[in-house]
Structure 1
Amino acid sequence: MGSLSIWHWLIVLVVVMLVFGTKKLGNVGSDLGKAVKGFKDGIKGEEEKTSAPATEKTTIDVDAKEKSRQ
């Protein structure tokens, strides 16, 4: 009952292709790829939003007093 051999996987692949057809499987693969890309873009956009304030340059006005030398 160990792992399945290559022949078992080929038989499963043929049965799946007979049941669903190659066109429908191609559409599922394309939709899955679009979903993964959208997820990655969403994560990247979220990271850019959180890191944007940290990367902005800010200036601080400070009046420095000079020590008088005696």
Structure 2
Amino acid sequence: MDIFSLPHLIILLLIVMALFGTSKIKNTGADLGSAIKSFRQAMKEEKQLPSSEVADAATQPLEHMRETTAETLHTKS
């Protein structure tokens, strides 16, 4: 017998519903859907930015880290 057969999936669904309740399952599904929607929106916004702005945004934290490290080393000397 296959572990993912229809009777096994139905029993598994009933156990999950009994443990968590239908409202938590519905909330989890809604949260997952909103997370996917916001991820798609962020990917769409990234595609709209020119590549130079994306590269600048990616290297900006590194430049800040270099500046703070240089300042820290300079003040300790």
Q: Same fold (TM over 0.5)?
A: yes
Unaligned 5+ runs, structure 2: 52-77
TM-score (norm 2): 0.61
More helix by share: 2
C-alpha deviation, 1:30, in angstroms: 0.3
Partner of 1:47: 47
**Ranges of 4+ aligned residues in structure 1 off by more than 3 Å:** none
Unaligned 5+ runs, structure 1: 52-70
Give the secondary structure class of the aligned counterpart of 2:49: helix
C-alpha deviation, 1:2, in angstroms: 3.9
Partner of 1:13: 13
Structure with max Cα Rg: 1
Report percent identity of matched pairs.
43
Partner of 1:32: 32
C-alpha deviation, 1:3, in angstroms: 4.2
Say what the alpha-carbon RMSD is for the aligned residues: 1.5
TM-score (norm 1): 0.66
